[in-house]
Chain A
Amino acid sequence: MKLTWFLEHPALRRAVMLSFVLAFGAFLIMPLITLLLWAFADRWFFPNLVPQVWGFKWWGWILENTDITKAAKWSFMIAPTVTLLSAVICLPAAYAFARFEFPFKRFLYVALLASNAFPKLGLYIAIAALFFQFRLIGTFWGVVLVQLINTLVTMTWIPAAGFSSVPRELEEAARDLGASPLRVFFAVTLPIAMPGVIVAMILVFLGSLDEAQATLLIGAPNIITMPVQMYTLVGNYPEPVGAIFSILLTIPSLVLLVLARKFLVSGYLAAGFK
């Protein structure tokens, strides 16, 4: 009998699939639920299954802690800056890759992609050394620049896929009706390609909010963003602090997820990695 005999029986196949998905779901969700429990625990000693004392004691503490509010401020200054800067730098290139023929196109395309093929921490260290030289360590712009690297591929490839999905016939029809090339771009091409651009911007924004390794290396000691703060919180403070902080840090992601779910399902996510 073959190893996969269960695949041939629909009921068994279903049962195997069901248990696999349930096990996987537990693996993904249980850690997050643990965090949720901790966030509302005033006291929880092992081996109790649930906290002995529920409460909001630590929430007040966190919201009054200036280190943490400062970290939130840095996070929400850096993420939009990185997103906008990346958009300004990459979107024209995305359009060019989608619509123009030019020398070395393929080579440049591959080169851009190759930035993904570096083991990240080694690269950050090399950059850190360079930033020492240019006094960018511990500065806002130093952090913005190092985070920019990880956005190049996302901000070029996803919008490029969006731009090339715009039928040329539509652009030609608009030209035919008397619109100038610039008008065509803003009235026809951009609106149709917008989902791709939005998905790219969301991914870049989230990526910047979540970035910890490079930010720690370049930003410390002046620029401590929320995820970097997490490194020091863990171990130095009781569990509820880390848990509450985690929830606060996940909220922007979840809000964006809900706002953007219309675009996220449309297949652009995968396009960004291809």
Chain B
Amino acid sequence: MLGLLLVLPPIFVLILLVLYPALEALRFSLGFVPADNPAYASGLDLVNSDTGSLEVFKKLFASSFFSSNLALTLRVSFVSVALLVLVSYPLALFARFGRGRLAGVARVLYLLPMFVPVVIATYALITFFGDNGWLEAILGTVGIPYHSVIRQEAGIVLGHVWVGVPFAVLMLSSGLDGISNECLEAARDQGANAWVVFWRILLPLNIVPLLIVMTFSFIGVFGSYTVPYMLGPSAPQMLGVSMALNFGAFRQPQQAVAMAVVSFVFCAFAGALYVWSTTRGRKS
């Protein structure tokens, strides 16, 4: 029972700061407008209902702005996660199996973004990859034309890959560390080449960390603000940016909250998979 008592404070914080506001937001999006909450009650274009209605969501999905925003968000999330995995897996393999100075360099290098605040990372990416940026200047000296990726969809993806690498590599390589050398040598001894060892041994044995990386990154990208705000186009927008604008500048909290509910629904599967694989990885 002492254990339960010690665990209560963070759970209390969780209920107060996650569960309660999330439920309030859900109720608000269904048309229950809380009169005592000025942030909600003073919004424009409110749908008010005593029995609950899906009016807000209907309007949302009817809007072409929203559907193109949602499509962009989904596209960016999937592409970012895929690229992140493609970049991180070789690095993780190299961190685990690489020998020599180069491997040592790689092992430190990938941690770098962890210690650079996201806002700064995005700013640095603008100054390098942006219009009239350093990359364009460098390529210009050898006569290669460059078209900036900043303020494009690709810019958001670029930013998320840059920012997401440390977590992905850390997770994957710590999973790879748990695979014994004997196991890999036994496979080679049985006649497996590097390719077979990767597909039949490394990948299946490291599937849980991979799932964690994919789901956690997906949720992170889906709900991101800074990276798309700094690096993305002004239209269409990622849901996070659009949400913040609707809540603040446009004074349409109900739409913002409804978007939050939609994004939670879209992330629910990834979220469930994330929680499942994380607890599974923890158990073993």
Contact = CB atoms under 8 A, between A and B. Distances in A.
Any A–B CB pair closer than 8 Å: yes
Contacts of A118: 18, 22, 219, 223, 264, 267, 271
A190 interface: no
Interface of B: 1-11, 13-14, 17-18, 20-22, 24-25, 28, 34, 36-40, 87, 90-91, 94, 98, 102, 105-106, 109-113, 115-121, 123-129, 132-138, 140-141, 162, 165, 167, 170-171, 173-174, 177, 193-195, 209, 212, 215-216, 219-220, 222-226, 229-230, 239-240, 243-244, 247-248, 253, 256-257, 259-261, 263-264, 266-267, 270-272, 274-275, 278-279, 281-282
Contacts of A117: 215, 219, 267, 270-272, 274-275
A22 B62 CA distance: 47
Contact of A129 (B25, B113, B264): B25
Interface residues of A, number: 98
Contacts of A24: 87, 91, 106, 109-110
Interface string A74-114: 00000000000000111011011101111111101111111
Contacts of A128: 39, 247
A149 interface: yes
Given A96-B2, A120-B224, A17 B271 contact: no
A185 interface: no
B9 A246 contact: no
A110 B117 contact: no
B10 A156 contact: yes
Contacts of A126: 21-22, 24-25, 257, 260
B4 A103 contact: yes
A145 B18 CA distance: 11
Given A127-B21, A152-B10, A270-B174, A212 B278 contact: no
**Chain A contact surface mostly:** helix
10 contacts: A4-B195, A7-B193, A31-B124, A49-B134, A100-B3, A112-B10, A113-B275, A122-B264, A125-B244, A227-B118
A231 B230 CA distance: 8
Contact of A21 (B36, B94, B226): B94
Contacts of A273: 167, 170-171, 212, 216, 278
A230 to B, nearest CB: 4
Interface string A252-274: 01101100000010010111011
Nearest to B88: A24
B17 A212 contact: no
Nearest to B221: A119
A130 to B, nearest CB: 5
Contacts of A254: 115
Contacts of B195: 2, 4, 7
Contacts of A28: 109-110, 112-113, 162, 165
Nearest to B34: A133
A93 B264 CA distance: 27
Interface string A3-35: 010011000000001101100110111111111
Nearest to A269: B170
A184 interface: no
A102 B1 CA distance: 6
B9 to A, nearest CB: 4
Given A28-B112, A114-B275, A210-B117, 18 more contacts: A2-B195, A20-B94, A24-B87, A24-B109, A30-B134, A90-B9, A108-B7, A116-B274, A119-B264, A121-B260, A125-B256, A129-B28, A129-B253, A206-B115, A210-B119, A217-B248, A273-B167, A273-B278
A122 B259 contact: yes
Contacts of A8: 193-194
Contacts of A105: 3, 7
